[in-house]
Structure 1
Amino acid sequence: MTWWSWIVIWAVLVLAMLGMYALLGWRLFKKASVILGELSQLGAQVGSIQDNVENLTPEPSDNAILLGYAQMHHRRDAHRRRRAEEKELRREKRLERGKLLITSDYTQRTWPHAR
């Protein structure tokens, strides 16, 4: 091979490398512009949440020592009853899902039978 053929080979390789960098840079630019658009939407959503942050803060709880034993005992019993009801509801839903698994028609592809 002559000396100028090496120059041609290296010139083609360098041009291919620059073309690849241009292609990757263009794809990166397009992805970055999409991300910036999504970030602006996210900023708008965060702004709307920040407007309502005062309404979202929980009220401070009462001091249990100042309320007394009887009232706190009543609150605790109500809390236990509510948790027991929620637990029973979860158990019933679990049993219902189990029954659907046993008795469902596998050809039916609608919710709640399909995955």
Structure 2
Amino acid sequence: MPWWSWILIWIALVALSLLFYVLLGIRLYRQFMATIKDLGAAGEKIGHLATLPATYDEPRPLTSVPPGAAIFATRARMRHDYDASKSSRREDRRQRRVQRKTDRGQPQSLRDLDFS
């Protein structure tokens, strides 16, 4: 095999590898552009949802204890406020659970029913 055939073989190998990298780059660019297009569509959809009016209840403001009052309040007062808010949250969860089961037509749990 003459010496110049090795040069031709190496030139062909380098050309094929460059062609492979170019095709790989084109494919990567197209996938990147498709991803950017999908992200834009998702952003528009989320932006559209953000402009809809909120249908959930707004959280209740804490009127019993202003911010920073815990430092100067008595321990008994803070314990009372903590227990009151904890029982309030429990009652709210119980009412939501009862309403959800009523809406679905499911049987109520005995601990959820209010016998008073």
Shift in CA distance, 34/10, structure 1 to aligned 2, threshold 3 Å: same
Q: Which ranges in structure 2 are unaligned for 5 or more consecutive residues?
A: 66-80, 107-116
Displacement after TM superposition at 1:37 (Å): 1.7
Where does residue 36 of structure 1 map in the other structure? 36
Counterparts of 1:57 and 1:85, CA distance in 2? 18
Structure with the bigger percentage of helix: 1
Q: Return the match for 2:91 from 74, 78, 89.
A: 78
Could you state the TM-score of these two structures normalised by the residue count of structure 1?
0.51
SS across alignment from 2:7:
helix
SS across alignment from 1:33:
helix
Counterparts of 2:26 and 2:90, CA distance in 1? 64
Matched residue count: 88
SS across alignment from 2:38:
helix
1:1-115 aligned within 5 A: 1-52=1-52, 55=54, 59-63=58-62, 65=64, 75-76=88-89, 78-79=91-92, 81-82=94-95, 85=98
Counterparts of 2:92 and 2:31, CA distance in 1? 50
Q: Which ranges in structure 1 are unaligned for 5 or more consecutive residues?
A: 93-115
RMSD, matched Cα? 4.2
Question: Aligned residues: percent identity?
Answer: 31
